[in-house]
Amino acid sequence: MVKGQQVIPLQILKTGDASTLAVVAGVRAKLPEILKALPPGISIRPFNDASKFVRTSIEDGVQEMVTAAILAGLAVLIFGVWHTFGDPAEWGGLARSVHAPLYGHEAELTHPTNSGHPTCVSGAN
């Protein structure tokens, strides 16, 4: 008895290689046809839907992958800029060095891979 009414619990199990989402979708698709064949006064009410858990798990996994991709992209961006332009404490002159070629001036930047030797950035010789 559930809430004062007689019930017959029926559990649908899937085989090991079947998709939970596919099984639930198949059962839900067949429910209207089954309900038409039942005598009056008999109803079917699902009380435990395993596909909700599966869908939530998939959504959480996708959200975690997106978060990881964003964080990885930020790390590449931050450390890539750091590697390219050196220590952020020295970035004060960076704006002048980057904008100098726009005004026809020669700009010099030091790069960690060339042992501190100046590198010509612009083509104004």
- Record the pTM: 0.49
pLDDT for position 69 = 95
Q: What is the pLDDT of residue 125?
A: 46
Q: How does DSSP classify residue 39?
A: P
Percentage of residues of the chain with pLDDT beyond 70 = 64
Those residues of the chain that have pLDDT short of 50 are: 111, 114, 116-117, 120, 122-125
User: Half-sphere exposure of residue 86, counting CA atoms within 13 Å on the CB side?
Assistant: 16
Q: How confident is the model at residue 60, as a pLDDT?
A: 96
As a whole number of angstroms, the distance between CA 111 and CA 53 comes to: 52
